[in-house]
Amino acid sequence: MIKVQKNDFVVADEYLRLAGDNQDGAIVTFVGKVRDFNEGLDVQGLSLEHYPGMTEKVLSDIENKAREHWPLNKVTIIHRFGNLTLGEQIVFIGVTSPHRKAAFAACEFLIDFLKTKAPFWKKELTSDGSIWLDAKASDNDASQQWHNKLT
Amino acid sequence: MIKILFFARLREQLSTDSLTIAARENLTTELIRQQLAETDDVWNKIMSPDSLLVAVNQEISDWYQQVNDGDEVAFFPPVTGG
């Protein structure tokens, strides 16, 4: 299930949706939040923009890629857009699998690829004004490592 | 016609989120980029190929991709979601 939405999500609800199948021995979830610092500046919130249409396509491609590499049953990807304040949830990734190692790996793969492929852009609202974030080399490295590992 | 979209920093710096250009033979993503860069000094700086990504019909592309009538072309900076 892929959702790109303004509204917040409730982790307990998403967990219950993932947890229904007895064939799954493992559920791994990840939540990304708005944190209060970046490069020494006080972050008060975020504004998140995305490319409607392309975002959903890319997330669906990433899910399909993960399914090619690991035996996954359910996959949930939720990403919010719009204005978010400090501490708010930004992104939810949840995967279920018969096996724990596959679930851990797929969850990490999904967030690493989302960060470098999905067309979202963060603008940080700081005490010094608002600033578009630059892409991080470390995020590209994480994505590239998966590429090397899986091919 | 070809629909052109701009996102994030580009959209703000160019003060526009979309425009249309006429289709023509042998048009590519790179030729569209050059055409837009020739608008004025501001566009020239912002549409420079450094740290600029392009998507055609909502798929990430390169600068050699052919662009046809009715296509949607988007320019944006490297992504920062998650």
Q: Output the pLDDT for position A8.
A: 98
Residue B5: Cβ within 10 Å count: 20
Interface of A with B (CB under 8 A): 32, 48-51, 53-54, 57-58, 79, 90-91, 111, 114-123, 132-136, 139
| Structural domain contains residue B38 | yes
Q: CB contacts < 8 Å between A and B, how many?
A: 74
What pLDDT is recorded for position A140?
84
Listed in sequence order, the DSSP H helices in A48-136 are 54-69, 100-117
Residues on chain A touching B58 (C-beta within 8 angstroms):
51, 53-54, 57
pLDDT of A41 strictly over 80: no
Task: Report the share of chain A in percent with pLDDT over 90.
Answer: 75
Q: Is B82 within a domain?
A: no
Q: Report the pLDDT value the prediction gives residue A110, as an integer from 0 to 100.
A: 98
Number of domains chain B contains: 1
With an 8 Å Cβ cutoff, are A48 and B81 in contact? yes
Does residue B26 have a pLDDT over 80? yes
Q: Rounded to an integer, what distance in angstroms lies between the CA atom of residue A2 and that of residue A54?
A: 13
Which residue of A53, A54, A135 is in closest CB contact with B78? A135
Test B82 with A50 for CB contact under 8 angstroms: no
CA distance A138 to B5: 28
Euclidean distance between CA atoms A111 and B48, whole angstroms: 30
Q: Is the pLDDT at A30 greater than 90, yes or no?
A: yes
Q: Taking CB atoms and an 8 Å cutoff, what residues of chain A touch B11?
A: 49
pLDDT at B69 over 90: yes
d(CA A73, CA B11): 39
pLDDT reported for residue A18 = 97
pLDDT of residue A128: 83
Q: Is residue B81 part of a domain?
A: no
> At residue A69, does pLDDT exceed 90?
yes
One-letter identity of residue B14: L
Domain membership flag for residue B48: yes
Q: Do the Cβ atoms of A118 and B79 come within 8 Å? A: yes
Mean pLDDT of chain A: 93
Interchain pair A51, B9: CB under 8 A = no
Residue A136 has a pLDDT of 85
* Residue of A132, A136, A141, A144 to mutate for B, most B C-beta atoms under 10 A: A132
Residue A2 pLDDT:
97
The one-letter amino acid at A114: L
User: Is B60 inside any structural domain?
Assistant: yes
- Show the domains of chain A with their CATH numbers: 2-150 (3.90.1170.40)
Give percent above pLDDT 70 in chain A.
99
- pLDDT band at A148, cuts 50/70/90? confident
pLDDT in tens, A51-67: 999 999 999 999 999 99
CATH number of residue B28's parent domain: 3.10.20.30
Q: Name the residue range of residue B31's domain.
A: 2-76
Q: What is the ipTM of this complex?
A: 0.94
Residue B12: phi and psi, rounded to 5, are -70, -45
Spatial contact of A97 and A24, defined as CB atoms under 8 Å apart? yes
Q: Which of B7, B58, B82 sits opposite A49 (nearest CB)?
A: B7
- Examine the pLDDT at A40 and tell me if it is beyond 80: no
